[in-house]
Amino acid sequence: MPILVLFANSLVNLLYVSAGVAQLGVMTSDYYVGLYSVTLGVYAAGQFGAQGHLNPAVTIGFAAFGFFPWSQVMPYLLVQFLGAFVGAALVILHYYPHFKATNADEGNSVGIFATGPAINNPVFNFLSETIATFVFIFTLLNLGNFTQGLKPLIVGFLIMVVGQALGSTTGFALNPARDFSLRLAYAILPVPNKGGANWAYAWVPVLGPIAGGLLASGLQALLK
C-alpha cells in the first residue's frame, strides 16, 4: 500500500503543486496511476505471500461471501489503512518544498491526496463510487489469483479503464484506505499552505466502494 500511494500521489502532486523543472513526459493524467502504482503494489504484496488486497472494499466484499477468511480481515484492514497513511507521509516529506511554494488557491488542496466530486450530489456521488467499484471487483473475482504472472498488469490496466470510463464524476476512489488515510494525513500532518480536508464528503469514498465490493461479491457468489 505505501508503494501504491507513493507512486500515485507523487504523480498527482506534480500535476498540482509548483514543480519547478520537473518533467512529466507522457504521465499527464492520473489514470496512469492504475497502470504503474497498482501493478507494482500487487506484485510486491504477492512476493510477501499476501493475496494482493490493497483495498478494504476487496477484503470486506470477499470475506462477506466466503472468498476470504474473516480471521484475516482485521490484519489486512490495519495494514491497508496504515500503509496508505505512511505512503501519504512519504509524499509530503518528499515534496515538502513544493508544498511551501504552493498555496491552497494555486493547487495545494486535499485533492492531491483524496477524491472529490465534479458535481456535488452525495447520493449520485455514492452511486458513482458503488458502480465503479462493482465493475472493478467483479472483474477481479473472475481473474483468480491476481498476484501471479501478468495478472497484476491486468489489474493495473483495469484500474485505468475503470477510471477513464467511470471516474470523471468523483475521481474514482475505489478504495476506502486510499482515500480516508490520505485525507487524514493531509489534515493532521504539517503540510505548509494547505487547504481544508473536506470531511463532509469523506463518507462517500469510504462507503461507496464498500457497497460496490459487497454487491460484486454477492453477485459472484450467486452466479457460482
Greatest mean pLDDT among 5-19, 77-91, 140-154: 77-91
Q: Which residue has the higher pLDDT, 5 or 173?
A: 173
Least Cα distance to 84 among 54, 52, 46 occurs for 54
Q: What percent of the chain has pLDDT over 70?
A: 75
Q: What is the pTM of this model?
A: 0.83
Q: Which residues contact 78 (CB under 8 A, 6 or more apart)?
A: none
d(CA 224, CA 215): 14
pLDDT at residue 42, rounded to an integer:
58
Write out pLDDT tens, residues 29-42. 455 555 555 665 55
Q: Which sign does the torsion angle of CA 111, 16, 8, 3 carry? A: negative
Q: How far is CA 215 from CA 15, 41, 60, 125, 221, in A?
A: 34, 25, 11, 17, 10
d(CA 46, CA 52): 6
Write out pLDDT tens, residues 119-157. 999 999 999 999 999 999 999 888 877 667 777 778 878
Q: At what angle do helices 122-141 and 204-223 cross, to 10 degrees?
A: 40
